[in-house]
């Protein structure tokens, strides 16, 4: 993929929201246990930090959701699983809904680094909706975000990674979301060895049909990025075990024009991924 010399973005789509390494997607099922990758391959796992394998229980076990009381669905702080495996990025964390495991909440401090975040989160949601309508773009957001004072029960029930992450925020931004399938991975474009190691990790559990689907999806992603080059900024893509792709962390495009470093890292990245998947289908991928 050849990058344009000058990359411009309308101000309306310049986003400035939180960095998220957790994942919530549109139109998908969370039932993926039957095709989980082999976790014993240490070489591959060294290329795959555990926070970038999407799991919700105490890895590698799947979380066992309990029921909630009637009416809890209207109070998100009563509906989230505080005991799931910590899924936090730099500024937000994802919590699975206890009443419906296909849904969840992406939650961040409403005044992170003393900068109000709601307007930025709304812009991110709007941009994602525009891309979905124009390109059939998969993203994480289910409904518009909103802000509210932090419920005392939320802070009281936090533990582990979540407690360290949040502290005692005065307000929270809640982004209703859908849950990513377990076993999905995050790929980035900064190191070929890491990129291909992660692809190998997910490809080993895929059927030929799923690999062919992934091939087409990656080619579509190339077309979307050509039309929306701001997506090159800190490029991140989720791939599930059925070969579907989802764009992650859309707030990263807040910087507008891609930096020289991001542009350099991205050059040829997806084309290389397409070739790698094609080689896997043909049985010519090297695992050395």
Q: What is the DSSP string of 185-250?
A: EEEESS-HHHHHHHHHHHHTT--HHHHHHHHHHHHHHHHHHHH-GGGGTT-EEEE-TTS-EEE--G
pLDDT 10s per residue in the chain (288 long)? 544 333 333 333 323 333 333 343 333 333 333 334 444 444 444 444 445 677 766 433 334 445 555 555 568 998 888 888 778 877 888 888 887 888 899 999 888 766 668 888 888 899 899 999 999 888 889 999 999 999 999 999 998 778 888 888 899 999 999 888 888 888 888 888 888 988 998 998 899 999 999 999 999 999 999 999 889 888 889 999 999 999 888 877 776 677 778 888 889 999 999 999 999 999 887 543
Give the whole-angstrom CA distance, residue 258 versus residue 161: 32
Helices (H) and strands (E) in the chain, counts: 9, 7
User: Which among 112, 173, 114 has a CA at the least distance from the CA of 144?
Assistant: 173
Under 8 Å between Cβ of 63 and 71: no
Q: Does this model's pTM top 0.85?
A: no
Q: Which pLDDT does position 14 carry in this prediction? A: 29
Q: Which pLDDT does position 174 carry in this prediction? A: 94
Grouping H, G, I as helix, E, B as strand and the rest as coil, residue 62 is coil
* Other C-beta atoms lying within 10 Å of the C-beta of residue 169: 18
Query: Which pairs from 147-155 meet CB under 8 Å and 24+ separation?
Result: 147/110, 147/117, 147/118, 147/171, 147/172, 147/173, 147/174, 148/172, 148/174, 151/77, 153/77, 153/78, 154/77
Q: Which pLDDT does position 44 carry in this prediction? A: 42
Query: Which residue in this structure is represented by tokens 């542009």?
Result: 263
DSSP for 129-196?
A: HHHHHHH----SBSS--EEEEPPHHHHHH--HHHHHHHSS-SEEEEEEEEBPPTT-EEEESS-HHHHH
Q: Which pLDDT does position 40 carry in this prediction? A: 44
Q: Which pLDDT does position 3 carry in this prediction? A: 41
DSSP 32: -
188 CB-contact burial (10 Å; exposed 0-12 / middle 13-18 / buried 19+) = middle
Q: Which pLDDT does position 163 carry in this prediction? A: 85
Which structure tokens are listed for 210?
A: 């799923």
């Amino acid at each position: 993929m050849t990058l344009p010399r000058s990359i411009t973005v309308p101000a309306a789509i310049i986003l400035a929201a939180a960095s998220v390494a957790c994942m919530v997607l549109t139109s998908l099922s969370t039932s993926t246990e039957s095709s989980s990758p082999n976790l014993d391959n240490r070489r591959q796992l060294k290329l795959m930090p555990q926070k970038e394998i999407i799991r919700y229980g105490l890895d590698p076990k799947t979380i066992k959701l309990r029921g909630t009381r009637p009416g809890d669905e209207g109070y998100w702080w009563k509906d989230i699983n505080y005991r799931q495996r910590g899924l936090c990025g730099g500024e937000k964390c994802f919590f699975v809904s206890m009443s419906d495991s296909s849904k969840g909440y992406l939650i961040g401090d409403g005044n992170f680094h003393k900068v109000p975040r709601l307007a930025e989160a709304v812009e991110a949601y709007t941009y994602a909706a525009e891309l979905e309508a124009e390109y059939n773009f998969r993203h994480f957001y289910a409904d518009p975000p909103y802000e509210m004072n932090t419920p005392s029960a939320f802070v009281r029930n936090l533990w582990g990674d979540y407690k360290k992450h949040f502290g005692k925020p005065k307000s929270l931004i809640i982004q209703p979301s859908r849950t990513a399938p377990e076993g999905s991975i995050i790929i980035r474009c900064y190191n070929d060895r890491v990129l291909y190691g992660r692809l190998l990790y997910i490809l080993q559990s895929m059927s030929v049909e799923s690999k062919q689907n992934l091939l087409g999806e990656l080619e579509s992603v190339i077309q979307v990025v050509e039309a929306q080059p701001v997506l090159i900024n800190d490029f991140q893509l989720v791939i599930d075990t059925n070969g579907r792709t989802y764009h992650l962390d859309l707030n990263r495009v807040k910087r507008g024009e891609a930096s020289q470093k991001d542009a350099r890292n991205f050059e040829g990245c997806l084309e290389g991924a397409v070739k790698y998947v094609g080689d896997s289908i043909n049985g010519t991928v090297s695992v050395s």
